[in-house]
Amino acid sequence: MEGRLKLSRNIEIEFKNMVTEAEFQHLLRTFHISKKMFFSQTNHYFDTKDFSLKKLGAALRIRVLPDKYELTLKKPIEDGLLEINDYINEAEAKAFINNAHMPIGEASGEIQKMNIPIDQLILFGTLRTDRAEVEYEKGKLVFDHSFYLDKEDFEIEYETNNREKGERIFYELLKKFNIEIRNADNKISRLYHAL
């Protein structure tokens, strides 16, 4: 299929915390994050009318980045989330967003294994995030400012490949900056609640 790139599967281990706008701005200054380091990504979220994916703790999105389109299924596994990415072209992305069929690939096969009919998947919401990333303690520190419906929020994430070390590093960072531990639902959950 023209425009189709290789897919990937990876296990995502990340720690998240909601922050206030003031805390977010302070962190940006401390880590020397300038406006030009941010890039914008738009996530279009899909599920069935009765939220079959949500009931299984899974999520499906198309992420629109400046130079590519990713169709991603996230589903829970023992040590984190299994993330399955199919790289799709613009025509496939736009067709699915406009209620055509889901592009066939690794993600659609996995959804069928979950006994969810892919022809019943519909777009239920869109969320835009302005994101900056820096390397931090052998992991990635992520600064997200998200916009959805009439809301906006601020979040930091720490992505790592070692759960134990990553958790320690992340909570030490929060403590160092006197940031209260605040539950950070994933973006799709925040969109569900806003709906």
Is residue 82 within 8 Å of 8, Cβ to Cβ? no
Kindly report, residue by residue over 12-58, the tens digit of the pLDDT. Answer: 789 999 999 999 999 999 999 999 999 999 999 999 999 999 999 99
Q: For residue 135, count CB atoms less than 10 angstroms from its CB and return exposed for 0-12, middle for 13-18, buried for 19 or more.
A: exposed
Is residue 65 within 8 Å of 44, Cβ to Cβ? no
CATH entry 2.40.320.10 includes domain 8-194? yes
User: What mean pLDDT comes out for the span 96-122?
Assistant: 92
pLDDT value of residue 7: 59
Kindly report, residue by residue over 171-182, the tens digit of the pLDDT. Answer: 999 999 999 999
pLDDT value of residue 66: 82
Kindly report, residue by residue over 79-97, the tens digit of the pLDDT. Answer: 778 899 999 999 999 999 9
Full-model pTM: 0.83
Kindly report, residue by residue over 125-152, the tens digit of the pLDDT. Answer: 999 999 999 999 999 999 999 999 989 9
Check residue 6 and report its DSSP letter: P
Helix (H, G, I), strand (E, B) or coil at 112: helix
Task: Please state the domain extents for the chain.
Answer: 8-194
Residue 100 pLDDT greater than 80, yes or no = no
Cα-Cα-Cα-Cα torsion 184, 188, 191, 193, nearest 10 degrees, comes to: -70
pLDDT value of residue 26: 98
Strand partners, 17: 156
Residue in 20, 26, 65 with CA at minimum distance from that of residue 42: 65
Q: Name the percent of the chain lying above pLDDT 70.
A: 96
pLDDT value of residue 11: 75
Cα-Cα-Cα-Cα torsion 185, 128, 136, 140, nearest 10 degrees, comes to: 80
pLDDT value of residue 1: 40
Kindly report, residue by residue over 61-71, the tens digit of the pLDDT. Answer: 999 988 899 99
Cα-Cα-Cα-Cα torsion 161, 83, 175, 144, nearest 10 degrees, comes to: 130
Residue 170 pLDDT greater than 80, yes or no = yes
Residue 2 pLDDT greater than 50, yes or no = no
